[in-house]
């Protein structure tokens, strides 16, 4: 199967690509390269790639592909808040246009990296795929609207599938320090404190990027009728945690650190627990493997082996918003996040 992976040089993409190749897929990438100076320990694998901005994809460029895996996006809430219009241009309009181009080119499957953040401020209990949408950020809202618009394209020859990933964590060669577990472990190692910016009460579902990748492979290999126009929450039901519980686990793993709260820490509006039963039972081939504790241990070992310093961890390299702002300020990107020649 020939697969186009957008965002193949991003946090998840660089670790998904070798898993896809090991599983026998012929992989071609598409990535703007915003974070090409953000390597952690080693560079990504080299794979053939389309030299395109996601917003410029046309059907002719997708002919010959069997599937598209769409990871490419402005990748988190703070980055989405940088310019909400750009969030919708890239995460919504470009995602829908990519699906339309794929369908027009005869691509049979479209795997969309959605997010549990579209549940936003969730109701009590565990939310399954039928739960109401309640996004509280432009990022979450863009995922809702993209799912709805792409769903209108589904038919017997075009099978979109939406993977609503829990909050990701884990070691990657394009490390992100701006997501909660990765951030707390880095704080613990480099400062001796697990510092939380919220009061620690919100619930959050968590998933390792290896299990997100397993979800993608399952969505590509499952019978089309099993996934056509279906949403699957990706994670494990037992892997819902209050943020303070995450901090306590980090403190158990990282020697000599203590849990602390940042000045003015308050409740986070994003507060939800998620049910992952559907994916575990109805997404053929999907078997998540990671637990939060194992992921924390992996991160701690990787940071320690890298001799991660406080200056490096809190610098610009591993924070998506800092990287983008730096490229704008240096004149590399314009206000629309297009490269300046």
Domains and CATH numbers, the chain: 2-329 (3.40.50.720)
The chain-wide mean pLDDT, for the chain, equals 93
Kindly indicate the confidence band of residue 201, based on its pLDDT and cuts at 50, 70 and 90: confident
pLDDT at 287 (0 to 100)? 93
The residue-averaged pLDDT of 26-39 equals: 96
pLDDT at 181 (0 to 100)? 97
CA dist., res. 240 & res. 275, Å (int): 9
pLDDT at 9 (0 to 100)? 97
With contact defined as beta carbons under 8 Å apart, do 227 and 283 qualify?
Answer: yes
CB atoms inside a 10 Å sphere around CB 281? 9
Longest dimension (CA), the chain: 57
pLDDT at 195 (0 to 100)? 79
Q: How far is CA 281 from CA 220, 285, 309, in A?
A: 16, 9, 42
What pLDDT, in 10s, does the model give residues 120-137?
876 678 999 999 999 888
pLDDT at 79 (0 to 100)? 63
Kindly indicate the confidence band of residue 81, based on its pLDDT and cuts at 50, 70 and 90: low
pLDDT at 80 (0 to 100)? 59
In this structure, the dihedral spanned by the alpha carbons of residues 120, 122, 128 and 134, taken in order and rounded to 10 degrees, is -40
CA dist., res. 260 & res. 16, Å (int): 34
**pTM summary value:** 0.95
What pLDDT, in 10s, does the model give residues 255-311?
999 998 777 766 666 688 999 999 999 999 999 999 999 999 999 999 999 999 999
CA dist., res. 319 & res. 172, Å (int): 13
pLDDT at 200 (0 to 100)? 84
What pLDDT, in 10s, does the model give residues 307-325?
999 999 999 999 999 999 9
């Amino acid at each position: 199967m020939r697969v186009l992976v957008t965002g193949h040089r991003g946090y998840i993409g660089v670790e998904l690509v070798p898993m896809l190749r090991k599983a026998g897929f012929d992989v071609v990438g598409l990535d703007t390269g915003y974070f090409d100076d953000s390597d952690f320990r080693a560079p990504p694998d080299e794979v053939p790639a389309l030299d395109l901005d996601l917003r410029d994809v046309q059907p002719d460029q997708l002919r010959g592909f069997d599937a598209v895996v769409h990871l490419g996006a402005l990748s988190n809430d703070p980055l989405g808040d940088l310019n909400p219009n750009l969030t919708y241009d890239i995460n919504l309009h470009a995602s829908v246009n990519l699906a339309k181009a794929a369908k027009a080119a005869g691509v049979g499957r479209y795997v969309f990296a959605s997010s549990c953040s579209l549940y936003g401020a969730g109701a009590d209990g565990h939310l399954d795929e039928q739960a109401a949408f309640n996004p509280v950020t432009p990022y979450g809202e863009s995922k809702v609207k993209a799912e709805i618009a792409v769903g209108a394209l589904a038919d017997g020859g075009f099978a979109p599938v939406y993977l609503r990933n829990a909050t990701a964590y884990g070691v990657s060669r394009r490390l992100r320090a701006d997501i909660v577990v990765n951030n707390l472990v880095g704080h613990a190692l480099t400062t001796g404190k697990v510092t939380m910016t919220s009061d620690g009460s919100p619930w959050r579902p968590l998933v390792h990027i290896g299990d997100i990748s397993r979800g993608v492979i399952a969505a590509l290999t499952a019978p089309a009728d099993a996934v056509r126009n279906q949403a699957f929450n990706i994670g494990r039901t037992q892997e819902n945690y209050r943020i303070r519980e995450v901090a306590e686990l980090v403190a158990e793993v990282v020697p000599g650190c203590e849990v602390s709260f940042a000045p003015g820490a308050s409740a986070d509006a994003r507060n939800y627990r998620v049910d992952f039963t559907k994916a575990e039972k109805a997404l053929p081939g999907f078997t998540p493997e990671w637990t939060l504790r194992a992921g924390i241990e992996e991160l701690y070992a990787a940071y320690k082996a890298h001799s991660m310093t406080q200056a490096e961890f809190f610098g610009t390299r591993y924070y998506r918003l800092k990287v983008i702002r730096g490229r704008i300020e240096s004149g590399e990107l314009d206000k629309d996040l297009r490269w300046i020649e």
